[in-house]
Every structure is written in C-alpha cells, then in structure tokens.
Amino acid sequence: MTAIMDMDVAAITSGFAAGDFSATEIADAAFEAIEAADPQVKAFLEYTPEQAYAKANALDAARAAGGVLPPLAAVPVAFKDNMNMLGTHTTCASHMLENYVSPYQATCVSKMIDAGGIPLGKLNMDEFAFGSSTETSAFGYTYNPWDLERVPGGSSGGSAAAVASGMATLTLGSDTGGSIRQPACFCGVVGMKPSYGMVSRYGVVAFGSSLDQVGPFGRSVADVAAAMNALVGHDTLDCTSQDCKVDFLANLDQGVKGMRIGIVPGMTFADGCTPETLAAMHDAVAKLEGLGAQLVDVELPHMDAAMSAYYILGPCEAFSNLSRFDSVRYGHRTPGCHELGQQYEKSRSEGFGQEAKRRIMLGSYLLSAGVYDKYYYPAQQVRTLITRDYREAFERADVIVMPSSPRTAFKFGEISDPVSMHLSDMFTISVNIAGNGSLSMPVGLGRDSGLPVGFQIIGPQFQDEKILRVAAALESCCDFRGRVAPAFAKGGEA
C-alpha cells in the first residue's frame, strides 16, 4: 500500500475512480507512511484518523453509488497548524494556544476536504509563523527529510517536510514573507504563494493581514495546480478575497516558446548567494531559453528596501493581531492572578516564545507615538514603490525569475543571529509586499551540498496561471518531478 504515497494527484484520483484501490486503502497507506517517517521527521503536531476515515468511507460510498467524484478524490492532505479545522487543536505551535480547540473551520481547509482530500492532520510550524527554520515551534523541531541534521525551512516547515518525506500528497502552508517558498526550496518540493486575495484567509490565524496568503505544497507542478483549482475563488467571509476562478491545469502543457522571462541584471545575486545557488539559477534560466523563451532585462530598483519595509510592516501587524490572545477569551492563562494587568503580563509572558515576544515588542515600539510617523509611514511608501516596480516590470516580461533562497538548507543552530536568519527570505519578501503570486520549484541538487536548490518564478497579480505554465515547462527538463527525499522513497531506508 505504501506505493500509493509515491503517486501524484492524477494517479491517485484516476486509480481511485477506476477501482484500483479504495479511499480507505489510501488512508491506510498514508498512515502507514506517517508511522514509518514521522518519528524522524516530526512534521505533524496532530493526527486526524477519525476525520480521515470518515472522509474515505464517504468517498468509497460515493464511488459505489456511481456519483460524480470531486477533483481531489481520495488525495491525502494535511494542514499547517495555524488553520482552523473542526475537531482539532489549532496551536500555531505555541504554548499560548496549546489547548485551543477549533470551534469552526478555515475556508481553505473546507475547500480541500470538499474537493475530496483525505485530512491526515495538522503540521508543525514556527510559532505564529515567526521564523524561517521551524526552530521556534514550542513543540520541537521538524527535520529536513533530505538531511535530518538540517532545518526544513519555515515557517511552513512541517508542510514542506510532510510532502518531501512522502507522508502527504498535498499540504497547505501560509506565506507572509517566504514561508511557503523557502521551505519548499529547502525540502525539494513545489510550493506556491498565490496572488494576495486569490485564496481565502478566513479561519487562518493572522500574522500580517496585508501580507499573509495561503498556498499549496506538492511534489510536482501539476499537483500544485490541482490544489490551486480547489482553493481559488471568492469567499464572502474574507473581504480581501477576489473572484478570479481559473483552471490552473488547462495550460500546463503550452510550453514557454515566445514567453518573456524577466531577469533583474541590477540585482546582485552574488551578495549572500552560494555558488551552487547561482549555478543552478543560471542553468535553469538557460533551460528556459532553450525551450524557446525570450530573456529580457527588467528593473526592480526599490527591492533593496523590501527587507527593511517588511520588518516594519510585519511586526506592526503581528502586534495588532496577537493582542487578541489576552488569556481572557482563550489562550494560556496563568492561575492565581488576582488583577487583570497581572494576568495579562504573566499569561502572555509564559504563553509566547522568544521570537513572538521579540516581534510583539518591536511592533509595539514602531506603533508608539513619535515613532509611527518616522518608520511606519515611510514603510508604506516603500511598499507603494515596490508594487509599482513590479507592475512596470511586468509590462516588459510575462514572469520574473530569481532564486528562492540564497542557499540550501542550513543545520540546526547554525544561524542564531535574527538578522542573518531574516536574510533567508531576501528574495521572497518583496513579492508579499507587492501582492504578486510566486512559486518555488526544485531545479536540481547543489553541486557542493547535494541538497535541493529552489528556483522562484514570479507573476503579475492574478495571473498565476502564467507562473505554473513556466514552472511546468522547466520541470519537464529538470528531472526532479515527484521526487521524495531518498531516505523516505519507496525502497529507501528511513
């Protein structure tokens, strides 16, 4: 049965429809894979076998009755633990929400399950999505399936690792400054941050409300496109949600001949980039050109300011969003406190980890009187300039490409300085500021590290199908499609 977990979405859905195996057998295979791999990878915070088998039984009954099967019928899925799912805890990998049970369900979770996904559980992450390595989780590390001594990236590290180790076919993560694309890069899977507004954020615990976006992970571009088909669409429960339903699978085989691929010559890729990342970048660009794409130079003159703007806007929004965790309505509460101020102070001090406290305090400072005008307003002005830069660049190019991360996965504890950690997202942050869609895909193994190297494709707002089209063409000549980390692949030694 474990061979099922090596299959892609199309193989699972067609095999299930043809009666080659039942949804219950698929659920069995998924939990067998989890039992074998998760003790080492530790991607999951909670398993949901009751919900999984209930969905599997319903799918088996629907097939037996001859009904129309949903597009992701019997595909094993799992969710980052900042997404509310009925019957589960939603902890955000924090002691603050350790005992919080979801009273409702996020739209993105409902859409994946309604599309036929078998829900396997909730996945580890950096606490409240604050981090780039999944090292800030209150419940322990998730380990990179390609090298268990290395981080899986973050904040959606559990989501990327679950796919890379063959424990789930599709997972969902959230991306505020690179939290889908950077772990996808580190774990050698495909991860997509849709344009802001394409996927509902309702029911997802907010970090930066103007920056957050939900997106899928898969082992192939087609798998991610199938997940996007299920996720995209207007949601009346999210006022930022847009009505932009398209078929992301329709144009995957159209190739890139005649498409304009934007390169940023003024961007000093070498600054902070490892040689193997640069080599993979140039090789991938050459492959696209060989497939018939036209390379064009574009300018992003304010990209150097993106990091500074992000670490003003992000903490300010995080400070506002995390103020709701006051230990009164929900969240950790320290017993024995007789005054409200004392209860706030002790409960929040105990409930939040160090990185969460750092960002809360920074946001509090940046929004204080006399400081707000000095930093927050200029950051918003920079945001306008970056958004304009991308809009003008896309007048010359269909997509823009650059590395997903300046390096491959690093070892646990190797980066302890917060500023150095933030540089892991140096190529992804500007996309969130502008609200564009973007995807990271593996284009090979680094010649020095032997670890996956990620390639980022950025598209105009609400034209994410272009991104997937380019990614599918590049994937066809990269020999990395559907690859599970060697130690967890069928026949490998876990």
Active site residue: 110, 132, 133, 155, which one? 155
Query: What distance in Å separates the CA atoms of residue 467 and residue 456, rounded to the nearest whole number?
Result: 9
φ/ψ (deg, to 5) at 172: -110, 145
Is position 94 annotated as part of the catalytic site?
no
Is position 80 annotated as part of the catalytic site?
yes
Q: Which residues have CB under 8 Å from 363's CB, separation 6+?
A: 315, 316, 317, 318, 319, 320
Burial of 476 (C-beta count, 10 Å sphere; 0-12/13-18/19+): middle
- The one-letter amino acid at 336: G
Query: What distance in Å separates the CA atoms of residue 470 and residue 111, rounded to the nearest whole number?
Result: 26
C-alpha dihedral (402, 157, 200, 396), degrees to nearest 10: 0
Active site residue: 80, 122, 193, 287, which one? 80
Active site residue: 137, 179, 195, 327, which one? 179
Taking 3-state DSSP, the helix, strand and coil percentages for the chain, each rounded to the nearest 5, stand at 40, 15, 45
Cis ω before 14 (30° cut-off from 0): no
Is position 102 annotated as part of the catalytic site?
no
Contact 135, 93 (CB under 8 A): no
Please report, in angstroms and rounded to a whole number, the separation of the first and last CA atoms in the chain. 17
Which residues have a catalytic role annotated? 80, 155, 179
